[in-house]
Structure 1
Amino acid sequence: MTAPLNIAPEVAAAKAQGRAIVALESTIITHGMPYPQNLETARKVEQAVRDAGAVPATIALMKGEICIGLTDERLEALAKTQDARKISRADIAACLSQGWTGATTVAATMICAALAGIHVFATGGIGGVHRGAQDTFDISADLQELAQSPVTVVAAGAKAILDLPKTLEVLETLGVPVIGYGRDELPAFWSRSSGLPAPLRMDDAGEIAAAHLMRARLGLPGGQLVANPIPVEAEIPADEITPIIEAALQDAQGISAKEVTPFLLSRIYGLTQGRSLEANIALVLNNARLAAKIAQEITLQTAD
């Protein structure tokens, strides 16, 4: 039996031609912002991948199938969907078997990308260890997935609402390579600086691609996390965003599980008067461009 993949024509053509492909998640569309801004942003991110020389494959679960790439009609339909479920490893099979509409998180996108033979995935920020996890055990499935699915993930670090030192510690324990792109310090989503040293540093896409391919040659499970700092002009400095995050965390008391992150991001959006969302869009576009370069390098190095 094989996975129920529905590969969009643009992606199928790219696979047949041996072109670079970049996977994109869909929770940013259904849970990240309202319509029509979500649709406009999704189109911009896909175009950024194309402009950088690769083919975008936005991933979602629709009508019992894993959609690897969405036609513009399907993209718009997803953007208008009010009841899409936020899907991770635990519920991906149930979503497909029940025919629900599912938006893929980082973990679910990695699983689907790997099934489709896509090596690179661009997102905003990964999930991680939530603050207070020593009491709640609230740790994102994204971290375990990075240790299992052989996909290189380009993100602006972990979301800054998390416990970043503990997130980095778990990634180290799981054996996930964490690569600072062009920097010795890890970024913190909206901010270029986290105060945490990057375990690894690589300065160009070719180095990252070579490391991805070497992991495959060694038979090592899992992928890589590439921490790509937000562009300088879009940054919200840490000393500015930190007290806002603390205020949002206070407001989130009593909220749990999958509802925590959407609530916090929405609250921070309000407290920053929309600036956090503008920064989020800028960093996703930046990550899409870098992911396209890495995907191209993997294609070139595989052909050599």
Structure 2
Amino acid sequence: MIDITFSKDVAAARDAGQPIVALESTIITHGMPWPQNLEVAQQVERTVREGGAVPATIAVLDGSLHVGLDDDQLTKLAQAKNVAKLSRADIAVCMAQGGTGATTVAATMIAAHLAGISVFATGGIGGVHQGAEDSFDISADLQELAQTPVTVVAAGAKAILDLPKTFEVLETLGVPVITVGQDEIPAFWSRSSGLSAPLRLDTAAEIAKAQLMRTALGLSGGQLVTNPIPEANEIPRDVILPIIETAMAEATAQGIAGKSVTPFLLQRIFELTEGRSLASNIALVLNNARLATEIAKEMTKLA
């Protein structure tokens, strides 16, 4: 087994059998500018603690897999330049070369499972990109959900993606897509996607039991919990869709492709919404952290 460096808080929680919630680090290094990225990361960790669990922000630092970061490490990561964005394909190479990298949804799931953590809170998962029938651009997050037994709490898939194809792939892969409190899958910034929820569960206890039942049945993979953004913070679908379409048209006109597409789109949507998209993003991440904390507590009770 790989050596994992646990923070003091996470190590103590593991020894005591306390609930732990995994958190990704790309939101720190690739999602927001300094110092807002640090402030939001601290706010998410504080939300988990106030809910009664221990946060475990995950990253690779100088080749070592860290599960839980102390204040100094979090601050240093938030200010670091040229940090690698790690998924399943490249996390091993980064570690072998002694590099520093932030974990995406897929890499965070891998690390969380290695650390014995069953619940992970994020903003939105990756998925099938627009035009994937030509580019074959599909996030590794979908395959990870099919093989790694971690419950991922998100506000759906990122709304810039091809949502119908994303959820069709998840169905094909046998990944449970569970929506909380409504019968329609949310679409990140919006509570509505126009897509019916395959499964609906309304409590953290039900969600925890569902993951434990998958394990008991010998089924591989985790489950995706789609948690709608609070109504007060959403950007309604009819408002955000034309903005997304405008940003996509600009990306095509400028020849932006590959890994450059997502950051370009998110920045243009931020500009076109006059910052509203970022405020909504922060609100939904905090909302997901709250629910993930409740699920982790229920799993601890049932274990």
The whole-number CA distance in structure 1 between the counterparts of 2:221 and 2:37 is 30
Cα distance in 2 for partners of 1:284, 1:260 equals: 22
Distance 1:122 1:262 in 2: 21
Deviation at residue 255 of structure 1 after TM alignment: 2.2
* 1:289 counterpart residue number: 290
List aligned pairs for 1:89-100, cutoff 5 A. Answer: 89-100=88-99
Alignment of 1:194-233 (within 5 A): 194-233=193-232
Deviating above 6 A after TM superposition, structure 1's stretches of 4 or more consecutive aligned residues are none
- Give the superposition deviation at 1:119: 0.1
Contact kept, 8 Å, 1:123 with 1:153, in 2: the verdict is yes
Deviation of 1:100 after TM superposition, in Å, equals 1.4
Equivalent residue number for residue 145 of structure 2 = 146
Identity between Structure 1 and Structure 2 (%): 69
CA distance in 2 between partners of 1:181 and 1:226 (Å):
7
- Can you list the C-alpha shifts for 1:127-171, whole angstroms capped at 9, x where unaligned? 000000000000000000000110000000000000000001000
| CA-CA distance at 1:257 after TM superposition | 2.5
The answer to whether 1:234 aligns with 2:223 is: no
Counterpart residue identity of residue 293, structure 1: E
Deviation at 1:267, TM superposition (A): 1.1
> Which amino acid is 1:133 matched to?
A
The farther-off stretch of 259-268 and 234-243 is 259-268
Match of 2:269 in 1: 268
- Superposition pairs of residues 76-91 of structure 1, within 5 angstroms: 76-91=75-90
TM-score, L = length of structure 1? 0.98
Question: What does residue 162 of structure 1 align with?
Answer: 161
Distance in 1 between the 2:91 and 2:259 partners?
14
Partner residue of 1:189? 188
- Verify the 8 A CA contact 1:129 1:167 in the aligned structure 2: yes
1:257 partner letter: G
Root mean square deviation, CA, Å: 0.6
1:105 corresponds in structure 2 to 104
Question: C-alpha distance in 2, partners of 1:54/1:197?
Answer: 32
Q: Do the aligned residues in 2 keep the contact of 1:32 with 1:38 (CA within 8 Å)? A: yes
Match of residue 47 from structure 2: 48
CA distance in 1, matches of 2:58, 2:264: 23
User: 1:50-80: per-residue Cα shift (whole Å, max 9, x none)?
Assistant: 1111100000011111110000100000000
Corresponding residue number in structure 1 for 2:171:
172
C-alpha separation in 2, matches of 1:106 and 1:256: 21
Deviation at 1:256, TM superposition (A): 2.5
**Whole-Å Cα distance in 2 between the matches of residues 277 and 222 of structure 1?**
31
Query: CA–CA distance in 2 between the matches of 1:260 and 1:8?
Result: 34
- Report deviation, 1:4: 2.8
Residues of 2 paired with 1:25 and 1:271: CA distance? 27
Cα-to-partner distance string for 1:184-207 (whole Å, 9 max, x where unaligned):
100000000001001000000000
Unaligned 5+ runs, structure 1: none
1:261 to partner: Cα distance: 1.3
> Unaligned regions of 5+ residues in structure 2, if any?
none
SS of 2:65 mapped into structure 1: strand
**CA deviation after TM superposition for structure 1 residue 259, in Å:** 2.1
**Secondary structure of 2:160 counterpart:** coil
Whole-angstrom distance in 2 between the partners of 1:256 and 1:229: 29
Measure, in 1, the Cα distance between the counterparts of 2:7 and 2:189.
32
Q: What displacement does 1:287 show?
A: 0.0
Q: Is the 8 A contact 1:4 1:64 kept in 2?
A: no
SS in 2 for 1:61: strand
Residue aligned with 1:252, SS? helix
- Give deviations 1:20-46, integer Å, cap 9, x for gaps: 000000000000010000000000000
Are 1:6 and 1:65, in contact at CA under 8 Å, matched by a contact in 2?
Answer: yes
Give the aligned residue type for 1:122. Answer: A
Deviation at 1:218, TM superposition (A): 1.0
1:237-248 alignment to 2 at 5 Å?
Answer: 237-248=236-247
The CA deviation at 1:235 is 0.3
Deviation at 1:15, TM superposition (A): 0.5
In structure 1, distance between residues paired with 2:260 and 2:25: 16
Q: How does 1:26-41 map to 2 (within 5 A)?
A: 26-41=25-40
Deviation sequence 1:213-271 (CA, Å, 0-9, x none):
01111111110000000001000000000000001111222222222211111111111
Q: Supply the distance in 2 between the matched residues of 1:213 and 1:201 (Cα, whole angstroms).
A: 17
Q: Structure 1: which amino acid aligns with 2:261?
A: V
Corresponding letter in the other structure for 2:150: V
